[in-house]
Structure 1
Amino acid sequence: MAMNQSVTIGVAALLIGGVGGFIAGKSGGSDAAGDSASVERDAKFRREASAVHQDGTAPESRARSIKEALREPGQLARLQSLVDLYEGMSLEELAAAADSLDDLPMADRIMASILLFSRWGEADPQGALAYSETMGFGGMFARPTILRSWASVDPVNAAKYYAEHPNEFNGPGGRRGPGGEGGADLVAREWAKLDPDAAMAWANSLEGDDKGSAMISIVGEVAATDPAKAATMAATLTGDDQMRAYGEIAQKWAAEDFSAAESWIQTLSGEAKDRAMSEAVQVLARTDPDAAAAKLASISEGGARDRAVAILAGEMAQEDPAAAASWLGNQQTGDYGDAMRRIMTNWTAQDSAGALSFIEAQPVGEIRDSATQTYLWQNQDVEPSQAMSLAEAITDERNRDRTIGMTARRWMETDETAARAYVESSDLLSDRAKQRILDGRGGPGWGGRGRGR
């Protein structure tokens, strides 16, 4: 298989796995040639490498190491250089390359790791998975990439391995893997690209959550190229699985042909129809907000309509946040807060003074609370006393405490004495909230994590 497809797989793995996962932490390589199949694969990849290296050395155009590949000018050139490098490596060399990843800066390590485990997952998936077991916490993030790469070329055996080792692809406490996809989803999506009917037959053999999620993944993959066939497949599902599948189809179909998608949606009924139409409207909102707004009337009041309103408000706000806010005020929705957060995120970035004027003109309530909270979290240039005055007016106690705490911690960076005095004298904060703020706990930011070994 051409390694260029592995680039696609690797980039997808980044999206589902998160940047923190590809932290290779290991001393020593895996025993990739533990069985005859591995030996045969190793010989195959050595032959491929020797075809490229006719005189035993790398061509001028091929990097000789990961670090050399990463010195290429331009990000795309670095990606291609890594692809070429990994394509010419034997299994032993892939393991050695994985050992060296710890020496790279984080951003480079992420890029190099994604492509390495994608290649290794195609060449010797069981060897790559064995290596991932030595990586500590980071292995939890590498394994989905390996499984997905394996399934892209050999879904039958990837599915068999997953069935025998499902817990290898779960997060801490049995939760689904990074990005919300489980191992069954990864296998299903890749298998559906090769043979959707066989993939669906396999998914039907699963049990519990895996069965429904795998089927939905297959339907979503088929919908990208043949939404009518995907709709036929989804009709065999039941309950929430069917509604989720209809949502996947509506998204994909609406992106290609909204009119055709809408015609199909009209054949549905009840909650399934509302959910599918909501998903289609959200897609339409990205290219034609006015047309999308006109379609809202066809969605019954409820969660599906609320989600469409929020997405549409955010899309409108990219062009004219004031107009988006005015439009939102005329909508019936059960969640003004989500829609206003999307509007205010754009408004604060585009015109913070205008955003503040809007807030000050609003009556007490959900819209003002949400607008104020988003404005203060997005805008670090508000004068501390003004920021505190705005935060204190938030009516929801939990959100008020969080926003006051965030504002106080920012204030401490420029005038710790004044900020601490404010917190200590506040009549709005509980003693517990005061202590958390003064101790610097519970604020925004990224938690730390060591390199798993």
Structure 2
Amino acid sequence: MDTSDHQLLQEHLRNPSGPALAELVDRHLPLIHSVARRITTNDEAARDISQIVFLRLVKKASNLPKSLPLTAWCHRETHSASVDYVRSEVRRQKREKTAADLDAMKTSSESWNQLTPEVDGAIDELSESDRALVLLRFYNNKTFPEIAHELSINDDTARMRTNRALEKLRVILAKRGITTTTALLASTLPTNAVSSAPASLANSITSSVQSTCVTSGALAFVKSHLLVLGSLSIGIAAVTTQQIKINQLKETQRVRASPVAQSQRSTRSFAISKIPKAAAFSEQDLLAIFANPDPAERLWLLHDYSLQVSTKHISEALELLRSKTPEWDSESKILTHLLLTRWAKADPEAAFGSLDTANFSLERGHSLSILSALAALDPKRTANWLTSPVNTRAYYPIVGHILSGTIAKEWARQDPRAALEWAQTLADQQQAGAYSGVLETIAATDPQKAATLALGLKAGNARNDILAKIAQSWARQSPLKALAWTSTLVSEARGHATSRALESWSKNHPEKAAQYLDENPNPKYLKIIANQWSKRDPEDTANWIASKPESPQRDSALADTLWHWTTQTPKAATAWIEALPAGNSRDQAIAGLAVAAVEFDPRSALEWSLKITTPSLRNDLSQHTFKAWSRSDPKIAQQWANDHQFSPDN
């Protein structure tokens, strides 16, 4: 069996001049270099970032958890370094050129060249577990049995979780303005995501890292190249989203709970009443909260802890979270947010200072907690900070959208009209984010009011975007009213708003959304409903789509539905297709089945693709399927090709 990545890391630590590092470079350089080049669009920068990532790997090797696939770690580090490179380049440009260049990165095309700037950022937004699955499957081209073995799960679980992760990636891309399908992603990523790195780069990195590790200046060299997260100006460590424990819970608990409730609380938690009021920060006390077996009580204790801990001990608590708790823990995220909010309110000057060095694209929400608190405290000053000419980060499209939305959300709770007037003075992505912050906050409780305010905004993409979001929010409460409202919108806003309303409705009641579309036919909305419905009941979805008149939209919806169906119950999907009459609909259904089946049964996928009657579709899909099979099992694939006189060059 091949030596694992983590075994090679340990071997390198024992023998830095040995061959282990070269093997790791050979395994992971194609992915690292491809991601870096895709984000930076600069060959030299990609080379430099590749070296930086391997330097980071050597430095952190002893602390990497064995449960974390090295592919996932490499992708995250490469994305971080590449984003920092892009940001540093942006600062050198004038404000107007910066906004124009970065706006060009936002696209709605499905082609790989246009998907390129966004795909790695979208993958980085996935959770650790979902990111690992996507990277192992579509970047490393591992089979489901290989993924299952690496993650210690069974084959079916690996397949299902990977399919769900791919769907989450599609949703993230959709939020970035890129419309695609899971079927297209599944077929495009393995072919394009990772390409060969320059031949000389592997040797260059290996020799560079090894020489650096054995010299006395190694630490300085690494520090000079690492792209690090700015720390808070008062010395609060730059925290990663993590968990916590307790200290200084005083007698507030007894005031909140009755004697009866107190007696019913878990005896396994520590005795809160025994904590001295003047107790110093205690790691054990904080950890004891997380040892409490009652989830509801844990949250209650964490909230009280966030109120009781002294502001001078907040930095210690955050450091404890950073160093000792898992990044994904939701309770840790809650406590981190509460602590940072308290600190920002207690020392707003230092909090504003911390924003000047914050890295919003990499921190996963910590500086946004500070920004929210400051916006609630002084929305006008926070708004001025955002639009300051020296704040170049705010003109990076996605970052600007998030920052303005965070400020507007808090301002809207105090003075929605003032917040809306401010939003109208902003440009492009900032304006869209601010509109969302104000009007989505209102729409959550009063969609009619939000809709009225939104219609008073200046026409344009930003207004159309918020109209769609209001429709989505409204449809959760009253889908028929939401759709009646979207039908009154002008044509350039109507389609997107209606799509979002139907998507929202379909998530909970796809059958009712389908019935609405039956009564109000429009083929362009078929796919929206089918995408949600097929996750629950693919057979009913397929039958519903098949009953519709033929159209390109119907064919696309059918292909996606069969993809979902095949990933759930392939035998039933196969039987359904076999009963279809020959024609374009059957071809599209086969395409959906083949794209899904290639991941776990490439032989059947290829044989099905050859049954397609449309020559161009048959040729393209069969070639793609054979290439995917050849990557996972080249000998068997070639033998099948020889036996069936199939030419990969057709």
TM-score bucket (shorter structure): 0.5 to 0.7
Q: Kindly state the Cα deviation for residue 56 of structure 1 after the two structures are TM-superposed.
A: 1.6
Shift of 1:31: 4.2
Q: Does 1:371 align with 2:581?
A: no
**How far apart are the structure 2 equivalents of 1:231 and 1:331?**
34
Give the equivalent residue in structure 1 for 2:530: 313
Q: C-alpha displacement at 1:229, in angstroms?
A: 1.9
User: Alpha carbons of 1:342 and 1:71: their partners in 2 closer, same or farther (altered >3 Å)?
Assistant: farther
Q: Distance in 1 between matches of 2:491 and 2:231?
A: 56
Gap regions ≥5 residues in structure 1: 1-15, 35-47, 431-453
**1:286 Cα deviation (Å)?**
4.0
How far the C-alpha of 1:80 sits from its partner, in A, is: 3.9
Match of 1:161 in 2: 385
Instruction: Kindly provide the amino acid, as one letter, of the partner of residue 466 in structure 2.
Output: A
Q: What does residue range 351-366 of structure 1 map to in structure 2 within 5 Å? A: 351-360=569-578, 363=583, 365-366=587-588
2:539 matched residue in structure 1? 322
Distance apart, 1:120 and its partner CA: 0.8
Which residue is equivalent to 1:196? 416
Pairwise CA distance, 1:94 = 1.9
The answer to whether structure 1 residue 69 and structure 2 residue 289 are counterparts is yes
Change (3 A) 1:407 1:336: farther
Q: Deviations over 1:122-156 (max 9, x none)?
A: 43266467668488974365323432344345433
Letter in 1 for 2:528: I
Cα distance in structure 2, aligned partners of 1:118 and 1:341: 46
Q: Distance in 1 between matches of 2:349 and 2:648?
A: 58
Gaps of 5+ in 2: 1-123, 129-226, 237-247, 253-274
Equivalent residue runs for 1:278-357 within 5 Å: 278-296=499-517, 306=524, 308-318=525-535, 320-329=537-546, 330-331=548-549, 334-336=552-554, 339-340=557-558, 343-344=561-562, 346-348=564-566, 350-357=568-575
- Quote the RMSD (CA, aligned, Å): 4.4
Q: Using the alignment, how far apart are the partners of 2:250 and 2:622 within structure 1?
A: 65
Deviation for aligned residue 1:201:
1.6
- Note the C-alpha offset of 1:87: 2.7
Q: Distance in 2 between matches of 1:148 and 1:89?
A: 20
Identify the residue that residue 267 of structure 1 maps to in structure 2.
488
**1:144: which partner in 2?**
368
Contact 1:86 1:119 in 2 (8 A): yes
1:215 aligns with 2:435: yes
- Write the letter of the residue equivalent to 1:82: L
Between the aligned partners of 2:542 and 2:530, the Cα distance in structure 1 is 8
Contact in 2 for aligned 1:340/1:367 (Cα 8 Å):
yes
Deviates more, 1:231-240 or 1:79-88: 79-88
Code of the aligned partner of 2:543: S
Is structure 2 residue 477 aligned with structure 1 residue 256?
A: yes
For 1:217 and 1:396, the matched residues in 2 are separated by 47
Q: Secondary structure at the match of 2:363?
A: helix
Displacement of 1:310 after TM fit?
1.8
Tell me if structure 1 keeps the 8 A contact 2:127–2:328. no
Superimposed CA distance per residue, residues 15-39 of structure 1 (whole angstroms, 9 cap, x where no aligned partner): x96646xxxx9999744399xxxxx
The code of the aligned residue for 1:249 comes to I
Q: Could you report, residue by residue, the CA deviation over 1:28-63 in whole angstroms, capped at 9, with x for unpaired residues?
A: 9744399xxxxxxxxxxxxx988867632389xx98
Note if 1:277 corresponds to 2:498. yes
Q: How far apart, in 2, do the equivalents of 1:299 and 1:145 lie?
A: 44
Q: 2:604 maps to what in 1? A: 386
Identity across aligned pairs (percent)?
Answer: 22
Distance in 2 (CA, whole Å) between partners of 1:241 and 1:298 is: 31
Pair 1:281–1:110, CA change in 2 (3 A) = closer
Q: Hey, what's the Cα distance between the residues in 2 that align with 1:120 and 1:18? A: 24
Is the Cα–Cα contact under 8 Å of residues 282 and 311 in structure 1 kept in the other structure? yes
- 1:44-55 to 2 correspondences below 5 Å: 55=277
Q: Which residue of 2 aligns with 1:235?
A: 455
Q: Residues 319 and 129 (structure 1 numbering): CA distance in 2 closer, same or farther, change over 3 Å?
A: same
2:318 match = 98
Determine if contact 1:265/1:276 at 8 Å carries over to the other structure. yes
- Separation in structure 1 between the aligned mates of residue 411 and residue 555 of structure 2, nearest angstrom: 40
Whether the 8 Å contact between 1:281 and 1:296 is mirrored in structure 2 is: no
Per-residue CA distance 1:230-279 (angstroms, 9 max, x = gap): 22211222023332222222222232233433443343343433433333
Q: Secondary structure at the match of 2:309?
A: coil
Equivalent residue for 2:278? 56
Aligned-partner residue type, residue 307 of structure 2: E
Conserved? CA contact 2:562–2:589, under 8 Å: no
Q: TM-score, normalised by structure 2?
A: 0.49
In the alignment, the residues of structure 2 paired with residue 213 and residue 27 of structure 1 have an alpha-carbon distance, to the nearest angstrom, of 24
Partners of 1:110 and 1:370 lie apart in 2 by: 36
Aligned partner letter, 1:205: T
2:340 aligned partner, one-letter code = W
Cα pair distance change 1:63/1:331, threshold 3 Å:
farther
Aligned to 2:340: 120
SS of match in other structure, 2:398 = coil
Letter matched to residue 413 of structure 2: K
Q: Distance in 1 between matches of 2:570 and 2:444?
A: 40
1: CA distance, partners of 2:360 / 2:452: 43
CA 1:265/1:353 → structure 2, altered by over 3 Å: closer, same or farther? Answer: same
Instruction: Name 2:175's counterpart in structure 1.
Output: none
Q: Which moved more, 1:161-170 or 1:187-196?
A: 161-170
2:445 to 211, 220, 225: 225
Between the two proteins, the alignment pairs up a number of residues equal to 379
Could you tell me the TM-score, scaled by structure 1's length?
0.66
Asked if 1 retains the 8 angstrom alpha-carbon contact of 2:468 and 2:497, the reply is: yes
Residue 417 (structure 1) shift: 5.3
Q: Distance in 1 between matches of 2:625 and 2:391?
A: 41
Contact 1:120/1:128, CA 8 A, preserved across alignment? no
**Structure with more relative contact order (C-alpha pairs < 8 Å, separation 6 or more):** 1
